[in-house]
Amino acid sequence: MLKFTEEHEWLKIEGGVATVGITNYAVDQLGDLVFVELPEVGATFSKNGNAATVESVKAASDVYCPLDGEITEVNSAIVADPSLVNSDPQGAGWFFKLKLANAADADGLLDEAAYKELTA
């Protein structure tokens, strides 16, 4: 199940764990990424907490935690090579995995159609 936030994060939810990254739209707005800072495994965040930071040739931007939860894994490959986010933002360029405090909270996020409408 793919869900989206108005802040341009995507979530792929499987078994109460969400893989989180930034959308193609966000990547297009940011331009080429040159730096990514990820949260620590084991850190807990509330919805909309600042979980990660990206810097591009254009600007620096925060990546928000889309729901309450605990970081269970981070994608260190994008720290070593931020261009992975540019080339495959909704695949190899994922940021972190989040064990959801309440999986039902995802129902309040945007589906793909609503997100496409938001960014049209």
Digitized pLDDT (tens) for each residue of the chain, 120 residues in all = 799 999 999 999 999 999 999 999 999 999 999 999 999 999 999 999 999 999 999 889 999 999 999 999 999 999 999 999 999 999 999 999 999 999 999 999 999 999 999 999
Nearest CA to 98 out of 24, 31, 39 is that of 39
pLDDT confidence of residue 58: 87
pTM beyond 0.75: yes
Q: How many helices (H) and strands (E) does the chain have?
A: 4, 9
* Whole-angstrom distance, CA of residue 26 vs CA of residue 57: 14
* Whole-angstrom distance, CA of residue 57 vs CA of residue 34: 7
